[in-house]
Amino acid sequence: MEQKESKKSKWSTPVWGSILTIIVGSILIIWPELALSYIVIVIGLLFLISGLSAAISYWANKNSDGNSYTYLLFTGIGSTLFGLWLILMPQFFVNILMFVMGGILVLAGIQQLGELIILRKNMIVPFVFFILPTLVLLAGILILFNPFSTATSVVVIFGVSAVLYGIAGLINGYKAKRQITF
């Protein structure tokens, strides 16, 4: 009986994980703008909690052993303020993140195209090799000129991927369950 329960729990854990992944992916697909903002808000809450914890540690340990814990106070204040900023202005940080990602893609595309042009001086480089770096460069430019729309698209793509991953997990779990004899 105990072995039977153990086999069932080994199968049910991945199933619940897959179901949760499908739910999260569906939320990202249905409400991508809200999902991005809430992700930033959750990160802000983590900074806020961390900052408050550091500040409380400073006050709790201030005179307990004679050491100075001033760094905890400054870390706590900084983390708390940054957390509040993330919570109060999530859209600002979503746009900053997209600009950074867009800039990285532009630089990566230019760098790869430059390498191919240099290689072309010494050898034959088929045209097809220029396609991917050009697409990377164009994606970066698109993100830089339209950061929030592209951010939404990225979230939707991630959501679809999560749903597909969850479905694959359910299928694999079902196949594994059939291999286990109860």
CA distances from 167 to 23, 125, 158, 161, 164 (A): 11, 41, 14, 10, 5
What number is the average pLDDT over the span 93-121?
Answer: 87
Q: What percent of the chain has pLDDT over 70?
A: 85
Domain boundaries, the chain: 9-179
Torsion from C-alpha of 49, 52, 94, 22, nearest 10 degrees: 0
Q: What is the pLDDT of residues 11-52, one digit of tens each?
A: 566 788 889 989 988 998 999 888 888 888 999 999 999 999
Q: Token match 């109060």: residue?
A: 88
Asked if pLDDT for residue 4 goes beyond 70, the answer is no
What number is the average pLDDT over the span 83-98?
Answer: 89
